Amino acid sequence: MENTNGPSREELVARAAELVPLLQKNAPWIEENRRLSDDVVAALTESGLLKMRVPRHHGGYESPMRTVVDVLAELGRGDGSTSWTAAVWAVSTWMVGMFPDEVQDEVFADPDVRVSGILSPTAMAVPTDGGVVLNGKWSFNTGSQQSAWNTNAAVRALPDGSYEPIMVLVPLSDLAVVDDWHTSGLRGSGSVSTVAQDVFVPDARVLSMGPVLAGVHQLGRNAASPVYRAPFMPTACATVGAVALGLARAAREAFFERLPGRKITYTAYENQSEAPITHLVTAEAATHAAEADFHAFAAAGMLDDKAAAGEGWTLEERARVRLHLGATVRRAKETVDLLSSASGGSSVYSGVPIQRIQRDAQTLSLHAIMHPATNLELYGRVLCGLEPNTHYV
């Protein structure tokens, strides 16, 4: 799918590459302070990279998924937490495009608006005149303290006593923040908890999740845009998989940066680069990284190509994107683990980037949507003719 609405893929990737030194420099501060630094947020904003999933009529680029993946992977080469936060902002910004035009006008009135979001429906929405009253708590709310809006999942009580999943769009100013993000990895993503207490959400800012998940949602001005014709889960999965790809690239760069002049202690090797074990490890890591790259862009390509052709999605195709996501995460983590294990005892010092990269990759692989085994099981169930054991496909 060609992008005729904004900067080219090459231009946006180049902009991301220009930010890598800044991200690498700020990564220790970001991790220690558990949020992105102000200068990193400003640089992301000024680069225009946060506009990739903003509608064209609101000044955005509507970038194809291949471009989004390439850009986020490049940011991940600089810092995993920055890449993850940018990915969540991209998915949540795209989700705003599902809401009525008047809601989008309100949100995108700020051309530099940042939107975070949570997919887990851990809040209850009770219908009331003109909307719902929202109560509940969302954990893992990435980047919320540096966002103006939240797209959060909830369940809405129906008159017959049943419930339906919904997506609500809420100003962050309506939510309380619980600063509980004390973790081993992706610390700089600021994925704190947020709480809604008797928050009124008007009907215009409430979406039924069923049509969004199925990709049959009703669209206003975005109806003609291929970017907004895709179902939610493949879009989200292809986006966040790019972070894992970026961490694999970061590990490779960090390893080879330290390799010259390093010896293998308690051996005769004065140069680690001359040892056959180093050759085997780096070649295997390169193989895993190439496989991660294949799966990440296979998922992105499905989204771009099907959108351009105006094709619908089968259950198997939606599950296949989850498969590609799991494989991307698994192969990327294997890449990071191999290079980390070959980095020697000195790599455990906090000033050596590979240890942070490994913790970020481990944390990423534990995410419920990104967990490799979970995604393999899901695709295998569908291949065997069983119903998926989740709505999130």
Indicate the domain borders of the chain. 9-113, 115-207, 230-383
Question: pLDDT tens, 180-220?
Answer: 999 999 999 999 999 999 999 999 999 998 888 877 777 78
* Homologous superfamily of the 230-383 domain (CATH): Butyryl-CoA Dehydrogenase, subunit A, domain 3 (1.20.140.10)
- 182 and 140 in contact (C-beta within 8 Å)? no
pLDDT score of 3: 52
Calpha distance 16→256 (Å, rounded): 21
Question: pLDDT tens, 227-270?
Answer: 988 889 999 999 999 999 999 999 999 999 999 989 998 898 99
Q: Same CATH topology for 9-113 and 230-383?
A: no
Calpha distance 296→116 (Å, rounded): 22
Q: What is the CATH number of domain 115-207?
A: 2.40.110.10
> What's 9-113's CATH class?
mainly alpha
Find the mean pLDDT for residues 310-320.
94
